[in-house]
């Protein structure tokens, strides 16, 4: 398939969402600790919607409060999968709860975490992190999270933050001060908007949140003015097709706006969101888009270039190029 000839960049993936039975089995077989039995982690099915995802989160409950040491084998197994799929750069959303509450201890733990991750990149994949802030975060925790994010921004631990959760119940405007302060510290702002909410949540993310990237953004295509603005301002949209289908953000793949976004020459990436819970991979997402919308090599190269340009970590540790002739499995050849 054509997509296999172009390197991939993933900007929207939650670490907890990578959990699935094969990955947990592999970790277990390697003698590392797992917190839930693989056979209990069935993915979300089509038609299950947000309740299906909520049920999935219950299945992986122990990982919601797990520390970074329990996540390392998960991340390492996931990174191996990314390399196999020709992913050369990935940004992952992780919970601040994985680390110590105390800021000094947080910085130390994060440095150790990052060192382990970098040792697994093997010169073929760069992995960066965003702290995930739930929309439902109580007010009293917002200031604490700001302080933690600033500490990690200064040490190069994280490159951005992401706001996710139920859009209608918790407007992004609650985080207005946080967005301003963190932006001033050089962090990128990603806001999940227009997934289950409407175009108004995307307007809010742009106007109040000063979002650099919009997660999902499917609802944007219900409002011509908004589509025009996204085009004019070259706002990056992180599309997650299978997630959109399973969560009910798109009725079926034919009605997903990614084909239109390509036709309008918009700036977007193709992502898994939660490859474990939605039972998809970067390869399967790209294959889906290729077969449904006829994306060709030029389209995928544009996706790769736009995705890489929309990254929050400006410093690349490797010389990542999007070459004309790329062979999956030979990423070493293009990374120096
Ligand atoms: Zn997401």
Average pLDDT, consecutive stretches of 10 residues, N- to C-terminus, the chain (336 residues): 90 98 98 97 95 97 97 98 96 96 95 96 94 90 92 95 86 90 96 95 94 97 97 97 97 97 97 98 97 95 95 90 51 38
Which CATH number is 119's domain given?
Answer: 3.20.20.140
Output the CA 101–ligand 1 centroid distance in Å: 24
Give the CA distances from residue 154 to residues 116, 150, 159, 182, in Å, rounded to whole numbers and listed in that order: 20, 6, 10, 11
Examine residue 328 and state whether it is found in any structural domain, yes or no.
no
Closest CA to 56 of 248, 241, 275, 214: 275
Output the CA 120–ligand 1 centroid distance in Å: 24
Distance CA 229, CA 202 (A): 11
Output the CA 93–ligand 1 centroid distance in Å: 8
Examine residue 201 and state whether it is found in any structural domain, yes or no.
yes
Output the CA 273–ligand 1 centroid distance in Å: 5
Please, what's the largest Cα pairwise distance for the chain? 54
Domains held by the chain: number: 1
Output the CA 336–ligand 1 centroid distance in Å: 31
Bridge partners, residue 13, by sequence:
273
Examine residue 331 and state whether it is found in any structural domain, yes or no.
no
Distance CA 186, CA 179 (A): 11
Examine residue 284 and state whether it is found in any structural domain, yes or no.
yes
Task: Determine the structural domain holding residue 186 and report its residue range.
Answer: 2-313
Output the CA 324–ligand 1 centroid distance in Å: 31
Residue-level pLDDT at 226: 98
Examine residue 324 and state whether it is found in any structural domain, yes or no.
no
pTM of the model: 0.94
Examine residue 124 and state whether it is found in any structural domain, yes or no.
yes
Output the CA 17–ligand 1 centroid distance in Å: 9
Give the CA distances from residue 292 to residues 2, 71, 223, 249, 255, in Å, rounded to whole numbers and listed in that order: 13, 35, 23, 17, 10
Residue-level pLDDT at 334: 41
Residue-level pLDDT at 154: 94
Bridge partners, residue 217, by sequence:
none
């Amino acid at each position: 398939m054509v997509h296999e000839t172009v390197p991939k960049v993933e900007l929207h993936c939650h670490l907890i969402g990578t959990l699935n039975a094969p990955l947990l089995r592999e970790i277990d077989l390697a003698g590392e600790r797992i917190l839930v039995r693989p056979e209990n982690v069935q993915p979300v099915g089509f038609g299950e919607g947000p309740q299906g995802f909520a049920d999935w989160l219950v299945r992986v409950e122990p990982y919601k409060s797990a520390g970074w040491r329990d996540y390392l084998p998960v991340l390492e197994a996931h990174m191996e999968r990314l390399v196999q799929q020709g992913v050369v750069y990935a940004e992952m959303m992780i919970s601040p709860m994985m680390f110590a509450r105390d800021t000094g201890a947080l910085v130390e733990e994060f440095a150790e975490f990052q060192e382990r991750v970098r040792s697994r990149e093997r010169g073929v994949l760069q992995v960066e992190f965003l702290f995930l802030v739930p929309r439902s975060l109580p007010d009293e925790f917002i200031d604490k999270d700001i302080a933690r994010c600033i500490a990690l921004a200064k040490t190069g631990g994280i490159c951005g933050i992401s706001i996710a959760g139920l859009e209608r119940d918790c407007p992004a405007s609650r985080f207005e001060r946080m967005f301003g302060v963190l932006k001033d510290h050089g962090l990128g702002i990603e806001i999940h908007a227009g997934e289950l909410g409407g175009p108004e949540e995307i307007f809010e993310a742009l106007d109040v949140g000063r979002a650099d990237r919009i997660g999902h953004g499917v609802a944007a295509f219900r409002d011509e003015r908004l589509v025009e603005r996204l085009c004019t301002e070259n706002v990056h949209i992180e599309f997650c097709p299978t997630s959109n289908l399973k969560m009910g953000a798109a009725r079926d793949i034919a009605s997903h706006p990614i084909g239109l976004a390509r036709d309008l020459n918009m700036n977007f990436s193709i992502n898994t969101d939660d490859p474990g819970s939605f039972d998809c991979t970067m390869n399967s997402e790209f294959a889906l888009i290729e077969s449904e919308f006829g994306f060709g090599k030029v389209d995928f190269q544009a996706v790769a270039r736009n995705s890489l340009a929309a990254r929050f970590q400006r410093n690349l540790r490797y010389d990542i190029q999007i070459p004309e002739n790329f062979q999956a499995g030979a990423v070493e050849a293009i990374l120096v």
